[in-house]
Structure 1
């Protein structure tokens, strides 16, 4: 049997040969491929600028695009607004994009735009979020259900299987918010039935999370834990509120509120070192950028991939509207927070 890397490389190489015959006659006159040594033009939309996680992702996109010598159109930012994303994508179409990288925050509202791109044979790589409908070439994402399960198992053990936990949920219009919330709830129900979960929908907004957590603390002064589905937007307001209420006590001290987060940003690592929070699941911003650009370039060149293990410790799965590369996302605690392999230890704060 061929090694994993060889199997995928062989599949892609075979498709490239066939695609080359089909497209060679058009490449020379293709305006979208005229820059950067004939490389196809890639359109990249960043989803927002109000999150430390996504700002780190933006740094990696810029760095990797430059390092790989890719032909990228001017990068846009849709600012968590699907109407801006649609408009930005239209600009990409008009300026010759041969593939588009996006991270739609509303995974339902982008379907018609995906259909339009598919009709125009412009493949789409969706980062971190899986569109509910509409064809995608590849989703570059981690297993978000595993995020919820890991957070549940860690918090459940910290609380000894009893008490109250507040869950700062992301937008439930997002597949990520739904996956994390559903997995967290299912795990708590099955493994820690003695823990009461207080679900707080936030729409990924830090101010909403802070306001709802303040009300929850007032009604539940015995709150023992918090699950933050996005440290990039929830960490600072949560810690500020706990500090204000006199509840920010280090891990191991009486009265400490156990906190598990998702993202893996440097600020979370610092909070783990200080004992302000207990753990986070490291969402791979570096790998998101690296493989988003890898798949976008491959798509623009006519390559294809199949479900199965990859050569970068992930698994490609078949989804109803395309393929998804599920990248690894490790749990980070005080035991491994200084690991140099974690991207959060390799970017500026």
Structure 2
């Protein structure tokens, strides 16, 4: 998506807030009192059109209850930075002492982060790292590793030769850039015999399907696909390949090798069937767990430093805060049934 100016966002927010103001009245500090004095935490979910983010939402709900947190009514910004800004302003008006968000447009959220910092409301950003603007903690996996792991696995599957369609995320997103840059760098250095066809999709499944269809028409010898987000790309990609008679199981002649990112249950089922070959498991459960933990810690005035953590991750320093880089394992047919993977435990 294109970045919007702060003036445009602010103008649109003022309209949205007229509708939100009624729900904001008469709450304020009462939310703290109603929950035994625990500071209120505002949580915005980024979208509801992705199986991955819907899984994250379930873990947030479970985690908030398990940790006994005082959460304000959870909002969903539906992949719209204007709605995110409006939702955050409602959190401010209703007494939030910390905010958990996952901005999909990492450039346009800067002024909102500056406003929250000025009001001493710490922000935990999940999965995405804001380009600028102060954050208390980014809870994220190493997205460059996603691209590298996908490249290494796919390159070996193809024997270093062939053509690969790369379904990229939005390139105005740090995640889309990190995965794309790492995948390209790895392919160039490790597998120069593979031609990569980059397809920007803005994280939209219909766009990915349309571009992949055109790519297949122009490149009937395509033998690999890298999907940067299984949550939005898996279903339309498999449906298209099925329609074209190209969905052949792994090990069979004509199989198109597919590597994905996310680690949702549907990807695991596809690996078991042989429809796709691997995915990098993005830890939806740990995103929720540690985002909520850091939010609670922030309301208590706790601070953290760069270095190893007690939960098998590493905190790194950013120009605008800290980032806890959580582990994200590669999942193949060899470990797809591992009970430790969150995709095998969703809803249990």
TM over 0.5: yes
Match of 2:193 in 1: 194
| Deviation digits for residues 156-201 of structure 1 (CA, Å, limit 9, x no counterpart) | 0000001100000000010000000000000000000110000000
Shift of 1:31: 4.6
SS in 2 for 1:42: strand
Taking the aligned partners of 1:222 and 1:70, their CA distance within structure 2 comes to: 53
Deviations 1:63-99 (A, max 9, x none): 0101111000000000000000000000000000000
Does 2:136 correspond to 1:137? yes
Unmatched 5+ residue regions in structure 2? 1-27
1:254 aligns with 2:253: yes
- Within 1, Cα distance between the matches of 2:252 and 2:315? 43
Aligned partners of 1:38 and 1:289: how far apart in 2? 23
* Pair 1:112 & 2:108 matched: no
1:318 is aligned to 317
Post-superposition Cα deviations, 1:226-280, rounded to whole Å, max 9, x if no partner, equal: 0000000000000000000000000000000000000000000000000000000
Q: Distance in 1 between matches of 2:282 and 2:238?
A: 20
After superposition, the Cα gap between the structure-2 partners of 1:207 and 1:348, relative to the gap in structure 1 and judged at 3 Å, is: farther
Q: What are the superposed Cα offsets for residues 203-222 of structure 1, whole Å, 9 maximum, x if unpaired?
A: 00000000000000000000
Deviations 1:128-153 (A, max 9, x none): 00000000000000000000000000
Aligned-partner Cα distance in 2 for 1:334–1:313: 24
Mapping of 1:149-164 within 5 angstroms? 149-164=148-163
**Alpha-carbon contact 2:208-2:233 (below 8 Å) kept:** yes
- Answer yes or no: is 1:181 the counterpart of 2:176: no
* Superposed displacement of residue 37, structure 1: 1.8
**Matched residue, 2:20:** none
Is the Cα contact below 8 Å between 2:113 and 2:135 reproduced in 1?
yes
Cα deviation code 1:271-293 (max 9, x no counterpart): 00000000000000000000000
- Counterpart of 2:208 in structure 1 is 209
Match of 1:64 in 2: 63
Distance 2:141 2:102 in 1: 13
Query: 3-state DSSP class of the match of 1:129?
Result: coil
Distance 1:210 1:259 in 2: 14
Q: CA deviation at 1:347?
A: 1.1
Kindly indicate whether the alpha-carbon contact (under 8 Å) linking 2:77 and 2:84 is maintained by their aligned counterparts in 1: yes
State the Cα deviation string for residues 77-131 of structure 1 (Å, max 9, x = none): 0000000000000000000000000000000000000000000000000000000
Is the CA contact (8 Å cut-off) linking 1:36 and 1:69 kept in structure 2?
A: no
CA contact under 8 A between 2:306 and 2:316: conserved in structure 1? yes
Check the 8 A contact 2:29/2:94 in 1, yes or no: no
C-alpha distance in 2 between matches for 1:36 and 1:249: 55
1:40 maps to 39
Structure 1 residue aligned with 2:341? 342
> Are 2:302 and 1:306 equivalent residues in the alignment?
no
- Equivalents in 1 of 2:295, 2:284: separation in Å? 16
In 2, distance between residues paired with 1:313 and 1:323? 16
Give the whole-Å Cα distance in 2 for the aligned partners of 1:318 and 1:142: 14
Number of equivalent positions = 321
Superposed counterparts of 1:267-306, under 5 Å: 267-306=266-305
SS of equivalent to 1:98: strand
RMSD: 1.1
User: What is aligned with 1:52?
Assistant: 51
